[in-house]
Structure 1
Amino acid sequence: MAASPARAADPQPGSLPPDAIPHASVLMFHRFGENTVPSTNIRLDQFDAMLAALKSGGYHVLPLPEIVAALKANKPLPDHAVALTADDGYVSSFTEGWPRMKKAGLPFTLFIATGPIDQHLRGYLTWDQIRQMKKEGVTIGAHSNDHPSLPALTPEAMKADLDTSMKRFEQEIGERPKLFAWPFGEWDTRSMAVVKAMGYDAAFGQQSGVAHAKHDLYWLPRFPMNEHYGSVDRMLMAVNALPLPVSDITPDDVLIKLGQTENPPALRFTVLPGLERMKELLCYTGPGDRIALKDLGGNRYEAKPDKAFQPPRDRISCTLPTAEKSRFRWFGIQFTVQK
């Protein structure tokens, strides 16, 4: 993988066609059936419909560690490979989400922020519940201790937070998690260096896109799911998606400091050769504003939004239709914006 955080591995001459690159769609949830917080919740009727669709045939819901191992080793994954994840550690994962996934026979990964668990905050899991879920087969991943915006911290403060998280996992579940999810999906060059040094196998963001073997393993994408984006059609669009492999991404860092860094950023990337319908490539900001693409030649493009990004974050998502009906190639990246 490339050294800088905002770069995917360069395509190699004679490499497999894009459809053959090992890939999977990773779905991200937070709360299950907590209808007072629709921005981070999935209604139970929505979730039940999603699980029924995933069980209807043609989809392969796999443990996230198995998907990461395949991506890391560039080993094949079945088409329509999917992983189910949730962040933070809300108690509804235990009372509503996991029982449904367990009944359906589907694996699940839960990324835990240890601080709220230790503080016994209302609405969060207990360590006993986490141990029970782990015993029943749930993969436990790390999500920091205090759930800070890691790019806002010094390297020393980042390491202190992540060390605390690791120690609490060792004390409570007897192991150090191998998978990490960025709080708020926010990362930058400095925080990525700290997370890599912690020994994690992979780290996941909150930008939409397809995880694949040519992608940097430390900002892998996930498709966020909530009440507003929780229809079965939306989920099927995500799990039917294919990778849009890009390389040589600039700028090198995704951290934007107001008044110091170019804003809006001019995102430049090179698309793997041989893709169909390139004239239909579209890019959008997080709020959904279309970005005019500049063709730089040699399969290289520039996407520069019209408006400056505002704190705390924004995203650019690019999609490309395929010859196969209802399947899009998808690439996304998130920018952290600091005052």
Structure 2
Amino acid sequence: MFTKLLTFVVFISSVLFSLLITCEAAVILQYHHVSDTTPKSTSISPNQFERHLQYLTDHQFNVVPLPELVSALKSKQTLPDKTVAITFDDAYNDILLQAKPLLDKFGFPFTIFINPKLLSNNANHYLSWSQITALAKLPNQQVTLANHGLTHDSFARKPKNRTKDEWFEQQTQDLLLAEKLIAKHTGQTWRFFAYPYGEYTLELQTWLRENQFTAFTQQSGAVGLHTDLTIIPRFPASQPYDQLDSLKDKLYSLPLNISVINETINNKISETKTIARYNTISSVNFEVQTKDFYPKSLNCYVSGLGKQKIKWLSQERFSIEFSGPLPIGRVRSNCTAPSINNPERYYWFSQPWFILNTDGSWYPL
């Protein structure tokens, strides 16, 4: 009798744990152009975009406005399983012409991250302020307008002719000005910020946190209650990542509660850095809080280097000694592992690095 009771308790605990894991999971999709005629690297065709939306409908995903998702994260409230938010960067014309009619067809809310100065100067490519204002007045807050910087300049690339302090002050003041302009034209001020090119620094993260901004990156990964609100991941869903076979795994992914402990730079242990010169980062240590996967099932892949060998240092920590120098450019390590309680779903975490040339200069955008 006792054995049966114990088995039942274990079963119930497993089910409850499984439900907790899945209800904490959300995914944010990132798009740019919805068009057949724009650069493929930032585009998805209207037909393929409609397939994405149809898949979300057919499989009963919970598509919510981005503010609803962020509010739940901030208040540590669980979300319905399979929660998704749809975002667009740069406010291109085709979002209104091609994407919105399809989103309306399915009744899905969405977010546009805009650069106010570009809207004023490049009306042939971007939505106008009058169009943005009209979108903001739609009922039920179906369209969220948010901050992508005053222009589309990187917030990590300091010009050589500026001091670090004066440049940082100008960048943050421009970001605040962009927020004011968005509020003026739309009545919305969410203090959501998407990093241009996905590039950021630890100093900028600190400033954003202190000034109550929520920030979004371009590296992959699911979102959960432990996600850092200054580097919320989004899955790029434009080409070549627009195929449904690969998108399905991402939509069902779970947030891996993991953090970078340190890196070995020039054979010395250093604090975590997002920016480094070529051939200076040789390894990285991670600490994992998630318990719902087998250590041997964890796989980590690095841009340009492929699958990396993982060395477990303890039950919570592992290290990767890179098989070669991290390539120059935007580099990501994607780590995934199948859930024990939901074997068909994968935990997903991505760590970005921005690797400079050997002379410290930036790679081309």
User: Under a length normalisation based on structure 2, what TM-score does the superposition of the two structures give?
Assistant: 0.82
Question: Aligned partners of 1:26 and 1:334: how far apart in 2?
Answer: 17
Identical-pair percentage: 30
Are 1:262 and 2:275 matched, yes or no? no
Instruction: Give the alignment's Cα RMSD to 1 decimal.
Output: 2.2
The answer as to 2:175 corresponding to 1:162 is yes
Partners in 2 of 1:287 and 1:123 — Cα distance? 33
| Structure 1 SS opposite 2:86 | strand
Return the alpha-carbon distance in structure 2 between the equivalents of residues 215 and 273 of structure 1. Answer: 12
Give the Cα separation in 1 of the matches to 2:82 and 2:351: 22
* Partner Cα distance (1:40, 1:327) in 2: 27
Contact kept? 1:254, 1:334, Cα under 8 Å: no
Alignment pair present for 1:230 and 2:242: yes
Secondary structure in structure 2 of the residue aligned to 1:39: helix
Residue 132 of structure 1: SS of its match in structure 2? helix
Match of 2:116 in 1: 114
- Relative contact order, higher structure (CA 8 A, sep 6+): 1
**Secondary structure class of the residue paired with 1:55:** helix
Deviation at 1:217, TM superposition (A): 0.7
| Deviation (angstroms), 1:121 | 4.6
Would you tell me which structure has more helix in proportion to its own residues?
2
Quote the residue 2:316 is aligned against: 299
2:354 pairs with 332, 336, 339, which one?
A: 336
Q: Is the 8 A contact 2:118 2:151 kept in 1?
A: yes
Counterpart AA for 1:302: S
2:81 match: 79
Q: Is the alpha carbon distance of 1:256 and 1:33 closer, same or farther for their aligned partners in structure 2, counting shifts above 3 Å?
A: same
Aligned to 1:249: 261
Q: Deviations over 1:49-70 (max 9, x none)?
A: 1111101133111111111111
Larger Rg: 2
Label 1:49 to 1:198 Cα distance change in 2 as closer, same or farther (>3 A): same
Q: 2:201 aligns with which of 184, 188, 196?
A: 188
Q: Aligned to 1:172, which of 185, 193, 213?
A: 185
1:194–1:229 CA distance, 2 compared to 1 (3 A): same
C-alpha separation in 2, matches of 1:172 and 1:190:
30
Report the Cα offset of residue 148 of structure 1.
Answer: 1.4
Q: After TM superposition, list the pairs within 5 Å mapping 1:41-56 onto structure 2.
A: 41-56=43-58
The answer to whether the Cα contact below 8 Å between 1:256 and 1:263 also exists between their aligned partners in 2 is: no
CA-CA distance at 1:113 after TM superposition? 1.6
Hey, what does 2:156 align to over in structure 1?
151
Shift of 1:20: 5.2
Deviations 1:27-60 (A, max 9, x none): 1000001434110001111111111110113311
Deviation at 1:21, TM superposition (A): 6.3
Tell me which of 214, 232, 235 is aligned to 2:226: 214
Instruction: Give the secondary structure class of the aligned counterpart of 1:313.
Output: strand
Which deviations, in whole Å up to 9, do the C-alpha atoms of 1:204-224 show, x marking residues without a partner? Answer: 100110111111111011100
The number of residues matched between the two structures is 322
Structure 2 residue identity aligned to 1:272:
Q
1:317 and 1:152, CA in 2 relative to 1: closer, same or farther beyond 3 A? same
Gaps of 5+ in 2: 1-16, 159-166, 264-270, 361-365
Shifted more, 215-224 versus 321-330: the winner is 321-330
In 1, Cα distance between equivalents of 2:256 and 2:133? 38
In 1, Cα distance between the equivalents of 2:90 and 2:273? 23
Query: 2: distance between equivalents of 1:138 and 1:295?
Result: 45
- Cα displacement string for residues 60-111 of structure 1 (whole angstroms, at most 9, x for unaligned residues): 1111111111111111111111111111111111111122112211110111
Structure 1 equivalent of residue 163 of structure 2: none
In the alignment, what sits opposite 1:4? none
Q: Aligned partners of 1:174, 1:292: CA distance in 2, in Å?
A: 50
* Displacement of 1:255: 2.7
**Structure 1 residue 314 corresponds to structure 2 residue 331:** yes
Q: In structure 2, what is the equivalent of residue 10 of structure 1?
A: none
1:24 to 12, 26, 43: 26
Could you tell me whether the CA contact under 8 Å between 1:25 and 1:83 is conserved in 2? yes
Structure-2 residue corresponding to 1:8: none
CA contact (8 A) 1:35 1:42 kept: no
Opposite residue 271 of structure 1, the aligned amino acid is V
Question: Partner residue of 1:61?
Answer: 63
Relative distance call for 1:256 and 1:247 in structure 2 (3 A) is closer
Query: Are 1:204 and 2:216 matched, yes or no?
Result: yes
Deviations 1:130-174 (A, max 9, x none): 112222220111010111110223321221321331232133223
1-side partners of 2:297 and 2:193: how far apart?
Answer: 34
2:103–2:109 CA contact under 8 A, matched in 1: yes
CA distance in 2, matches of 1:34, 1:157: 37
